Structure 1
Amino acid sequence: MWRVRVDGACIGSGSCVGVAPGHFALGSDNRSRPLSDEIEPDEAILDAVASCPVEAITIEDADTGEPVEP
């Protein structure tokens, strides 16, 4: 399992929502939020990390805490 986080650097570009709509949504503050804290590994999440213009998304292994991306 992966743990997905979006930090305060998020500018609400929505690129992650466009790339991985089943995993991210924009909140009322127009900033991205993961729809679930832990997910099965998914290539769409890696694409969302790569598409974030401010590198606000991080992924870590839920068991070990080791970074998956970036």
Structure 2
Amino acid sequence: MRREADRGIVRTVVTYRVERDGAVLCEASEGFDMWPADPALLLSELEEAGLQPVQAPRTDLIAAHRPGL
């Protein structure tokens, strides 16, 4: 993951690898641009979309669900 300060985004690149006996059989990468946001803003947007915040498995995550499902 790297921050591109001039664009105000965080760029995350994920590389998927399939290995067997220490040899790489297949490899692919894809990148995602992410815009950092205040957790309170994210929670507000989730609630506006009809989702209800729930306890996340870790403190650095936000989790929500749709009531009734």
TM-score w.r.t. length of structure 2: 0.23
Going by fraction, where is helix more abundant, 1 or 2?
A: 1
* Structure having greater relative contact order (Cα 8 Å, sep ≥ 6): 1
Going by fraction, where is strand more abundant, 1 or 2?
A: 2
Larger radius of gyration: 2
